[in-house]
Amino acid sequence: MRSVRVTVHGRVQGVGFRWFVQDAAQAHGVAGWVRNRRDGTVEAELHGADADVQAVLDLLAQGPAGAQVTEVAVSEAFPASSSGFEIRGTA
């Protein structure tokens, strides 16, 4: 199992990025959350099997149509007991 905190930089707000992340996570059985940040980035936490988390990270590097991802910063996070995936309010 792997747990990571992700910050995605670039043109990632106003292009459906949070829904894209939620769809990708649910398709791969990854739990966690995603939210916009006031600085224009998108932040997420992903919890799941190593290969599934990596698959979602690979998709985040591409982003949805209309997005321009310039950087995906990944750091390790504390494991969570949540089994679902949610879109949170802006932080």
User: Which of these, 28, 24, 10, 21, lies nearest to 66 by C-alpha position?
Assistant: 10
Residue 5 falls in the annotated catalytic set? no
Active site annotation includes 18: yes
Marked catalytic residue, from 36, 37, 38, 88:
36
**Candidates 18, 37, 38, 88; catalytic one:** 18
Residue by residue, DSSP assigns 30-59 as -EEEEEE-TTS-EEEEEEE-HHHHHHHHHH
Active site residues: 18, 36
